[in-house]
Structure 1
Amino acid sequence: MKTLLLTFCFYLLSNFCFSQNIPLPEHPRPDFERLEWLNLNGYWEFEFDSLDIGKNQNWATGNTSFTKKILLPFPWGSPLSEVKDEADIAWYKKEISIPKNWSGKRTFVTIGASDYETSVWLNGKLLGTHQGGYTPFSFEISDLIKKDGKGTLVMRVDDKRRDYALYGKQGYGNARGIWQTVYLETRGTDFVSTAHFTPNIDNGSVKLELTFEEPLTQDQKITAEIETPSGLLKKDFLAKKGAEYTSTNIEIPNTRLWTLNDPYLYKTKIKLSEDEVSSYFGMRKISVAKLPGTEIPYVALNNSPIYLQLTLDQSYHPEGFYTFPSDEFMKNEIQLCKNIGLNGLRTHIKVDIPRKLYWADKLGLLVMADLPNFWGEPTPQAQKESEYTLREMIKRDYNHPAIFSWIVFNETWGLRTKVKNETSGKEENKYLPKTQNWVASMYYLAKSLDQSRLAEDNSICCGAGHTETDLNTWHEYLPGYAWEDHIKTITKNTYVGSEFHFEKGFTQGNQPMLNSECGNVWGYEGSTGDVDWSYDYHRMMNTFRMFPQMAGWLYTEHHDVINEWNGYWRFDRSMKYTGLNEIANGMNDRDFHSLVYLSNGQDITHTVKADEEVSVPIFVSVMEDIKILDRVFLAEYKLAGIDQLGNSKTITEGKLNLPYEPWMQRSFDPLKIKMPSTNGLYTLTFTLKDSKGGTVYHTNFVSFEVIDGTLPKNIQVLEKKPTEYSSATWSQKTWTAMNGLKANGAGNGQFTYTFEGKTTVASSGYLLMELGAKALFFKDRAGSEIKNTDYMLGAKAEPSQNQNSYPMTDEKTFPSEVNILIDGKLTQTVKLADDPADHRGILSWHNQAQNRKLDEAGSYGYMVKVPLTKAQIKSLNKTGKLMVKLEVKGNGGLAVYGNHFGRYAFNPSVVLVR
């Protein structure tokens, strides 16, 4: 079992640094690219200015020698920058050389993003100063370039913390200073400042709007070229002298829509005299439509409702923090989501890097875009910062078809004001009506800037409500067992005119209602720590699909970060393993996100009695219009499992015909099924197919812990609870979980069990146990309490430090080797591959107390069967005793599981066969 990896391997680091001349050599904005440009990434001279003396000492002239080098575009303090974080102010310097063929052309330097106040000089002359941390800015250098084309570019960045500045969650890895590509480019005498394409799929056209940073010096002919599937499309139009804006409508024949499965991009060129800009757009429409056959509003893509299945993307990298090491890495971020069947992500409290948004456009993944927050109070200065950045992010990212909504605020962060309670005299943080009105105005600002997308005022949580919004979203982090009751409350109170989830004076309209943050990480005490995400996720998905009034969900989160370990992937994007295929053949993580889904309800494991007839609910949710000729689903089912004797059994198999309608959300008669006679853990697997069985749409399962069963007449079992050992000695620690359902020994040492009982004469037998390696996690050590819990600003904790944690199975294993001695003789050596925790630990999830605490949830071991020799059986028949010693020589430790914990429903046992 691994702890959080915070470094990339040397191979990956050297690959991007040395196989390319510079990091991130690609043009940073495929959506707004000029032909003549020069990337300035790479090593720059660098100096910290902790005493703020650089201005007075004329560092801006470029004559002062700097003592450090920094690798751009990585923020200082990030490992990839090769510079530690030592001060709030720093200076950058680089000698530049302008290509000869640029002579006489207007030349600009552009900084993709730099946090927070950035001043730029060329050859000692101030070009300008910019405030803000997330969007690009440019300065012209044409008149300051020397005759030989060379110059000294100097930048000073002041990144002191300011309560009004949009800091977001940078405590997870600060975006200090320059953190996006710096480049030079040429522009025309008259040049395009923005080129925005607004598609209209209903009439097969696109509106092109151009702005000019300066009024045009003369009448200009503008040519728009669009590459279409049927050839090059050209449109010429005129802009008058003095114009700062112009627009035109362009018909797009035989429109090819941008969809998630076919994310077609129309490549474009805008030509204005000697200025030329390349861009692209997607022909797609974002709107609200009803789920067919209902009055339920959904977000719609191209006039068709889409069930949103999203993930929260903190968009961090362990080595580059806000900045990714390569374009391929950014592409993979999007592809990872596609691989498991998600259709979108929410870039959280960060204006993301344009090339990452490009890959969302290119690969077909929806994006919710957040405005970063300030952490002070909503002062006029903070409001000004928010308004500026909202304008700039929409201006920059307007052409990305992947973006379907703008989120202005998150969980009311920065929106509360300290006021004195008139009764108690104590200060309280209040979300004041005047602030609510400003939040509503920010929604209207977003809508005025972009009417082609949805906008949300505040992604609500923790007692605050909505004002004006296109989406009725809410956050909730709950244990898996609590979802059904909560969603019943939500859906009951969601209707036009309701004040539920809205601030006083505002009411619900016809907005789609969806959960925009969920997961088990905050559903248990504290931050929960590193825990198997899949079991509660399974319960959550099963429940969500039974309530179509909820138009989608957003899981926290895409990848682990420094103090949240609930990602689908580790921080370094290595794999976590759910183990679904070993529970239900053919099932994988994509089945959680299938648009055709068969749910058996919130509770995915049940404790039942042997031979009991059980009613299994069946609910089918279809979130698309699939074509099935005879409109019938075939649901194949199979009940199988492993009994208390360690034997694999198939109990029953069958088929159900379920009538199908497009977009149906339907409950069918429950399946009546009889449980086996022998105790064990059994899984009922459903495979939903078309009626011919050729296409598999979905696989799901529900499990049963069978108790109070009987044994075959020729079988006798001698068993011990895990804690009923006769001796235990461990070098690091010995302890139990779940009131004795599991025994743990860390380091090297041994457990000895003495099996006793009056036996009948046995002809054969075997030792049966569930064993796993056992790491001594941080939470099980002395002094492991978490003292700093300011998680939103980057409080540090170990992945296994929270008392609820048990790190999930991943690519790094924690193995152990156990010698099994029976009656003092070495009988077998068993290699235990890991100390795992995932969905396969069904019993250690199912039998947790429902008190918002976890005790080694999801942990499990490996089935160990050791045949007894004839001599051992003879001795047991004679003495009625068998001594079993489990001995670990290395430091891999040992966990011994009981019949109500782990993966198998048996205690440490000696099974005897007459």
Structure 2
Amino acid sequence: MSVPRAEHPRPQFARNDWLCLNGKWQFEVDRADSGFERGLVDRELADEILVPFCPESTLSGIGDVDFMKSVWYRRTVHIPDEWSGRKVLLHFQAVDHDTTVWVNGSEMARHRGGWTPFSVDLSSVAKAGERATIVVRSRDPHTGPQARGKQSGRYENYTAFYTRTTGIWQTVWLEPVAESHLLRPRITPDVARGVIEIDVGIRGARRGLSVRARLSDASGEVTTAQRRADIDFGTKLELYVPKDRRRLWCPEDPALYDISLQLVDGRGRVLDEAQSYGGLRSIAIDGRTVLLNGKPVFQRLVLDQGYYPDGIMTAPSDEDLVRDIKLSMTAGFNGARLHQKVFEERFLFHCDRLGYLVWGEFGDWGADTSATVDNQQPTASFITQWLEVVERDYSHPSIVGWCPLNETHQTLHDRITVLDDVTRGMFLATKAADRSRPVIDASGYSHRVPETDIYDSHYYEQDPVKFAAAMEGLDVGKPFVNGDSDRPLPRQMPDGLWSIPYRGQPYFCSEFGGIWWSSEIDPSEDSWGYGEAPVSLEEFYRRFEELVSVLLDNKNMFGYCYTQLTDVFKEQNGLFCFNREPKFDLGRIRAAQTRVAAIEKTWLAPEDPAELQH
């Protein structure tokens, strides 16, 4: 059979030589997590699974949706002979949640966190032309202080909690590298100077070595730069783009530049080479306005949770990733909150090339320090795992903001400072790692960081009149805050929500709508959505149009995020069914959204009406 998900999993840092290890692996469920004691490291496993699909999914060939405290994988691979003389790296794009890797009987790596990639250097246990037996144990209790997004803590999925993912759920692959080799670059656009900055790390000896970068567009080479690698800890290069070759990345024109990176020695010999790309675009804040390339672009976002009926969190194919973006754009959205899941890099690659604005988000819904709640209790590991996300995705031009936390709860007890510290820690760590994008301290509910770049609310009021009344306070600097209808800040909310005072930041309603509509295509007797379901399609359209208009017509609102793109299991409030069939007239949905927003009108000069046309 063909290898599933065989496309390169890391298109923004790709070498020519690599080997996809997706496909059939030996597999065994270890429900009591006693496999190590029972010798699973050293013996054949009882079952078989199709990687990279999780064992809960039907695509994996397992389809076991019960709790699995631990799962094991085993595969023996032959390392290509032609890789002789180079190190071999074993890459895991994502394994949920607590992973240990053995190769040829030796423990080689541990990684905690289900969202981000990690690598294993096989140099000490396997070389080109040899066989490597890879054994993976993944522990995933789905309880306690674990960032797990929307994964259900019950046996079943229910309301807005979904079928769990355990173990390997993204691509596994091998890659040969030189003894001295390039590390993933950070690509930072500087629109004001017309420069794309490249910050490249190097592993191994670097005396006498240089890094060479070449920037190209569809017409060929634009510019080159070279710098010695043995002067500074990091090697920074600047690629100047002449004005006649300068195209700013934006939704209307998602221009990308190809970037070739080489590590060369003193005689000009290429020791390592990788391909990347970048976009020239800027993000800035002016008062309550978020600017893209110096102009307001109203962010018509949709909540996208990235679940699939047969793959759970793993898209069945690369084409499915593209389809979801195009469905959203057809409905009139220009971007998405990638919600409660760190999407795979291939998705961001397609966002980059299609001009789709996204907010990068961590999967930690409802973090709560309450001793009586077994939820995703925040710890220092939240900060560690989130920084891995930011580092992985830093260079994608499509990402216009970061969201470390979502709908956190603060309660009055002696552990209250834990969530305060983690919230501030994640915000400050994000700002330290990336000074080029806005950061929201926590989306919805409790804002705790006074200097947060963005302020928001989640509001699922279904009556457009009441929804409009709640949003009117923004005009006088008293925006709607979750749990606080009177808006005197700060104070302790009855339900444990508390927010610092609003300071005039850009504001958007980052979750609204969620209109419950159970279609005939995906029928469900116990479907779930927000509020009372409309009694007719016409009522649905009226409600959607009026809710959207409230936010489009607010001159202080820089965007919104409608819940949601697709139904997900029993949560049936999407614009598309879980199988991606449309539920509504997309032309009408699109028409309701694509008129010019009030904040865009106030920015542009009235004597230049041509600028108001999209």
Q: What TM-score bracket applies, with the shorter chain setting the length? A: 0.7 to 0.9
- TM-superposed CA distance for 1:162, in Å, is 3.7
Q: TM-score, normalised by structure 1?
A: 0.58
- TM-superposed CA distance for 1:289, in Å, is 3.1
Distance change (3 Å), C-alpha of 1:549 and 1:381 = closer
Quick check: 1:223 aligned with 2:219?
no
Q: Percent identity, aligned pairs only?
A: 30
For the residue of structure 2 that corresponds to 1:331, the secondary structure is helix
Tell me the equivalent position of 1:595: 595
1:847-866 to structure 2, matched below 5 A, reads: none
Tell me the equivalent position of 1:247: 236
Quick check: 1:190 aligned with 2:174?
no
Task: Provide the C-alpha distance between the structure 1 equivalents of 2:100 and 2:189, rounded to a whole number of angstroms.
Answer: 38
1:568-613 Cα deviation digits (max 9, x unpaired): 11111111124x8xxxxxx63221122337xxxxxxxxxxxxxxxx
- TM-superposed CA distance for 1:508, in Å, is 3.1
1:46-57 to structure 2, matched below 5 A, reads: 46-57=27-38
Task: Provide the C-alpha distance between the structure 1 equivalents of 2:367 and 2:76, rounded to a whole number of angstroms.
Answer: 39
1:834-861 Cα deviation digits (max 9, x unpaired): xxxxxxxxxxxxxxxxxxxxxxxxxxxx
1:491-515 Cα deviation digits (max 9, x unpaired): 33348xx986767894433421111
Tell me the equivalent position of 1:96: 77
Tell me the equivalent position of 2:551: 544
Quick check: 1:480 aligned with 2:463?
yes
In structure 1, runs of 5+ residues without a counterpart are 1-17, 291-296, 421-429, 581-586, 598-619, 632-659, 664-694, 698-914
- TM-superposed CA distance for 1:377, in Å, is 4.3
Amino acid corresponding to residue 50 of structure 1 in structure 2: R
Tell me the equivalent position of 1:534: 541
8 Å contact 2:303–2:336 — kept in the other structure? yes
Quick check: 1:385 aligned with 2:385?
no
Quick check: 1:514 aligned with 2:511?
no
For the residue of structure 2 that corresponds to 1:144, the secondary structure is coil
- TM-superposed CA distance for 1:526, in Å, is 7.1
Task: Provide the C-alpha distance between the structure 2 equivalents of 1:288 and 1:499, rounded to a whole number of angstroms.
Answer: 24
- TM-superposed CA distance for 1:59, in Å, is 2.4
- TM-superposed CA distance for 1:479, in Å, is 1.5
Distance change (3 Å), C-alpha of 1:151 and 1:303 = same
1:778-857 to structure 2, matched below 5 A, reads: none
Quick check: 1:31 aligned with 2:12?
yes
- TM-superposed CA distance for 1:365, in Å, is 0.6
1:289 pairs with one of 279, 286, 291: 286
8 Å contact 1:163–1:375 — kept in the other structure? no
Distance change (3 Å), C-alpha of 1:252 and 1:261 = same
8 Å contact 2:380–2:422 — kept in the other structure? no
Task: Provide the C-alpha distance between the structure 2 equivalents of 1:508 and 1:376, rounded to a whole number of angstroms.
Answer: 22
Task: Provide the C-alpha distance between the structure 2 equivalents of 1:342 and 1:501, rounded to a whole number of angstroms.
Answer: 33
1:135-194 Cα deviation digits (max 9, x unpaired): 000001123226742221111111122411111102212221000000000112112222
- TM-superposed CA distance for 1:133, in Å, is 0.6
Tell me the equivalent position of 1:131: 112
Amino acid corresponding to residue 326 of structure 1 in structure 2: S
Distance change (3 Å), C-alpha of 1:403 and 1:146 = closer
Tell me the equivalent position of 1:407: 403
Quick check: 1:275 aligned with 2:272?
yes
Quick check: 1:449 aligned with 2:449?
no
Tell me the equivalent position of 2:336: 345
For the residue of structure 1 that corresponds to 2:133, the secondary structure is strand
Tell me the equivalent position of 2:561: 554
Distance change (3 Å), C-alpha of 1:201 and 1:537 = same
1:470 pairs with one of 433, 453, 456: 453
For the residue of structure 2 that corresponds to 1:460, the secondary structure is strand
Task: Provide the C-alpha distance between the structure 1 equivalents of 2:218 and 2:305, rounded to a whole number of angstroms.
Answer: 36
For the residue of structure 2 that corresponds to 1:333, the secondary structure is helix
Task: Provide the C-alpha distance between the structure 2 equivalents of 1:449 and 1:471, rounded to a whole number of angstroms.
Answer: 17
8 Å contact 1:466–1:501 — kept in the other structure? no
Task: Provide the C-alpha distance between the structure 1 equivalents of 2:321 and 2:603, rounded to a whole number of angstroms.
Answer: 32
Tell me the equivalent position of 2:201: 211
In structure 2, runs of 5+ residues without a counterpart are 153-161, 265-270, 371-375, 480-485, 492-497, 518-527
Task: Provide the C-alpha distance between the structure 2 equivalents of 1:385 and 1:475, rounded to a whole number of angstroms.
Answer: 26
Tell me the equivalent position of 1:906: none
> How many aligned residue pairs are there?
563
Tell me the equivalent position of 1:73: 52
Task: Provide the C-alpha distance between the structure 2 equivalents of 1:344 and 1:41, rounded to a whole number of angstroms.
Answer: 30
Distance change (3 Å), C-alpha of 1:529 and 1:277 = farther
For the residue of structure 1 that corresponds to 2:424, the secondary structure is helix
- TM-superposed CA distance for 1:378, in Å, is 4.4
Quick check: 1:365 aligned with 2:356?
yes
Q: Which has the higher contact order (CA 8 A, sep 6+)?
A: 2
Distance change (3 Å), C-alpha of 1:81 and 1:623 = farther
Distance change (3 Å), C-alpha of 1:139 and 1:301 = same
1:841-884 Cα deviation digits (max 9, x unpaired): xxxxxxxxxxxxxxxxxxxxxxxxxxxxxxxxxxxxxxxxxxxx
Tell me the equivalent position of 2:225: 235
Task: Provide the C-alpha distance between the structure 1 equivalents of 2:276 and 2:611, rounded to a whole number of angstroms.
Answer: 38
- TM-superposed CA distance for 1:244, in Å, is 4.0
8 Å contact 1:258–1:283 — kept in the other structure? yes
1:329-340 to structure 2, matched below 5 A, reads: 329-340=320-331
8 Å contact 2:87–2:127 — kept in the other structure? no
Task: Provide the C-alpha distance between the structure 2 equivalents of 1:224 and 1:560, rounded to a whole number of angstroms.
Answer: 44
Quick check: 1:175 aligned with 2:165?
yes
Distance change (3 Å), C-alpha of 1:501 and 1:235 = farther
Distance change (3 Å), C-alpha of 1:384 and 1:252 = same
Distance change (3 Å), C-alpha of 1:623 and 1:96 = farther
Task: Provide the C-alpha distance between the structure 2 equivalents of 1:465 and 1:258, rounded to a whole number of angstroms.
Answer: 33
Task: Provide the C-alpha distance between the structure 2 equivalents of 1:101 and 1:529, rounded to a whole number of angstroms.
Answer: 63
Task: Provide the C-alpha distance between the structure 2 equivalents of 1:535 and 1:543, rounded to a whole number of angstroms.
Answer: 12
Quick check: 1:122 aligned with 2:103?
yes
Tell me the equivalent position of 1:163: 144
- TM-superposed CA distance for 1:48, in Å, is 1.3
Distance change (3 Å), C-alpha of 1:141 and 1:186 = same
Task: Provide the C-alpha distance between the structure 1 equivalents of 2:127 and 2:212, rounded to a whole number of angstroms.
Answer: 34
Amino acid corresponding to residue 210 of structure 2 in structure 1: K
Task: Provide the C-alpha distance between the structure 1 equivalents of 2:532 and 2:110, rounded to a whole number of angstroms.
Answer: 42
Task: Provide the C-alpha distance between the structure 1 equivalents of 2:514 and 2:33, rounded to a whole number of angstroms.
Answer: 46
For the residue of structure 1 that corresponds to 2:189, the secondary structure is strand
Task: Provide the C-alpha distance between the structure 2 equivalents of 1:558 and 1:92, rounded to a whole number of angstroms.
Answer: 34
- TM-superposed CA distance for 1:566, in Å, is 1.2
Task: Provide the C-alpha distance between the structure 2 equivalents of 1:161 and 1:385, rounded to a whole number of angstroms.
Answer: 15
Quick check: 1:416 aligned with 2:415?
no
Structure with larger Rg:
1
Task: Provide the C-alpha distance between the structure 1 equivalents of 2:93 and 2:337, rounded to a whole number of angstroms.
Answer: 21
Tell me the equivalent position of 1:728: none
Task: Provide the C-alpha distance between the structure 1 equivalents of 2:532 and 2:26, rounded to a whole number of angstroms.
Answer: 40
8 Å contact 2:96–2:167 — kept in the other structure? yes
1:776-830 Cα deviation digits (max 9, x unpaired): xxxxxxxxxxxxxxxxxxxxxxxxxxxxxxxxxxxxxxxxxxxxxxxxxxxxxxx
Tell me the equivalent position of 2:309: 318
Amino acid corresponding to residue 574 of structure 1 in structure 2: E
Quick check: 1:397 aligned with 2:393?
yes
8 Å contact 2:383–2:422 — kept in the other structure? no
1:370-402 Cα deviation digits (max 9, x unpaired): 112166644998321111111100110011100
Tell me the equivalent position of 2:126: 145
Tell me the equivalent position of 1:265: 256
Q: Report which stretch shifted further, 376-385 or 65-74.
A: 376-385
Task: Provide the C-alpha distance between the structure 2 equivalents of 1:537 and 1:547, rounded to a whole number of angstroms.
Answer: 16
Distance change (3 Å), C-alpha of 1:621 and 1:384 = closer
8 Å contact 1:312–1:347 — kept in the other structure? yes
